[in-house]
Amino acid sequence: METDGPRLIFRPISITYFLLMLGWTLILLPLFISMEVVLSKALGLPLTLTFTLFLLSLLGSHINIPIKEIVSIEPLVALRRVSFFGVSWVIPEFARRRRRTILSINLGGAVIPLITSTYLLLITIPSREPDPPITYIKILIALLMVTTVTNRVAKPIKGLGIAVPTFIPPLTTALTSIILYSISAKSNPFIMAYVSGTVGTLLGADLLNLDKIPKLGAPIVSVGGAGIFDGIYLTGIISTILVLILI
């Protein structure tokens, strides 16, 4: 009986990479505890849930959920040597090969950030922001900025996927959010930074480069994984730091 293929794809774990990202998270833990009241009020989420989301995102970075299979045709050129009466000729032969690429979505780098962003947009902003329309406008401006910058620096890597310099998305997010924070009514810097940073990185790096996937020659391409997860994860950390600085 035929199967539909793997339901989940687990990426090999790099201990060094995992410990590096975990270290960033643990550095914030004392700040989380000391500023519990401020953070809970600003984030609109219980402190334990906020920290749990960071850990789940980190652990979920190694899990990819397949969405579809993309089939592309790759031209091949082979050289065949033919000998006749002691003379050798090299004859080129042209062929085409079907290459299959599994398009997937990363649990920690896309699914969890998108669910969190949706909650912040639909629940937290209407209930906690003093001027929700202004906040939505600021988020839209920041989102466009992060998407544009990320798209400009995103590079298709043969055999891997789309990669983005690690600190470009979080730094762009931080600068944009700081500039927009005090314009008109003050808006929650965490919400601005988290939503615009995570969604903007996904849009700019992955979704706007979907047309390049068939040319990458990668067996698996993950939205929110591989070359852009660290940028998305650090954006969440930077967002939390902005709360501690600005509020």
Q: Per-residue pLDDT tens for 216-226? A: 777 888 888 87
Q: Which CA distances in Å does 68 have to 29, 141, 156, 199? A: 38, 32, 19, 21
CA 40 to chain CA centroid, nearest Å: 25
Residue 77 lies in a domain: no
* Spatial separation of the C-alpha atoms in residues 120 and 11, rounded to whole Å: 29
Least confident of 3-12, 119-128, 163-172: 3-12
For residue 53, tell me if it sits in a domain: yes
Helices (H), the chain: 15-34, 36-43, 47-60, 112-119, 125-128, 132-153, 168-181, 189-201, 229-246
CB 102 within 8 A of CB 69: yes
Mean pLDDT on 57-71:
85
**Is position 95 within any domain?**
no
pLDDT in tens, 84-95: 666 676 666 666
3-class DSSP state for residue 129?
coil
Among the listed ranges 5-14, 116-125, 129-138, 235-244, which one has the minimum average pLDDT value? 5-14
State yes or no: pLDDT of 3 exceeds 60.
no
What distances in angstroms separate CA 9 from CA 62, 63, 65, 104, 222, one per listed residue? Answer: 8, 6, 6, 8, 10
Range of 118's domain? 9-71+101-246
Question: Do the Cβ atoms of 231 and 168 come closer than 8 Å?
Answer: yes
User: Does residue 178 belong to any structural domain of this protein?
Assistant: yes
With respect to residue 4, please indicate whether it lies within any of the assigned structural domains.
no
% pLDDT > 90, the chain:
21
pLDDT value of residue 1: 40
Q: Which residue has the higher pLDDT, 115 or 83?
A: 115
Q: At what angle do helices 189-201 and 229-246 cross, to 10 degrees?
A: 170
Mean pLDDT over 163-176 rounds to 88
Determine, yes or no, domain membership for 236. Answer: yes
Most confident of the ranges 38-47, 76-85, 195-204: 195-204
pLDDT category at 2 given cuts 50, 70, 90 is: very low
Residue in this structure with the two tokens 């410990």, named with its chain if needed: 19
Query: Which of 19-28, 136-145, 206-215 shows the lowest per-residue confidence on average (mean pLDDT)?
Result: 19-28
Q: What gap in Å lies between CA 213 and CA 237, rounded to an integer?
A: 29
Rounded to the nearest 5 percent, the helix, strand and coil shares of the chain are: 60, 20, 20
Residue 151 reports pLDDT greater than 90: yes
What is each CA distance from 111 to 58, 96, 163, 214, 241, in whole angstroms? 12, 36, 18, 23, 23
Query: Would you say 195 and 117 are in contact if contact means Cβ atoms under 8 Å apart?
Result: yes
Tokens of 200: 């903007």
Confidence check: pLDDT of 48 > 70 = yes
Q: What is the pTM of this model?
A: 0.78
Report how far apart the first and last C-alpha atoms of the chain are (Å, whole number): 59
Is residue 23 in some structural domain? yes
Give the pLDDT mean for 77-106: 72
Read off the pLDDT of each residue in 35-56 and give the average, rounded to a whole number: 69
In a domain, 52, yes or no: yes
Would you state the structure tokens that stand for residue 110, as one six-digit string? 């896309």
The tally of domains found in the chain comes to 1
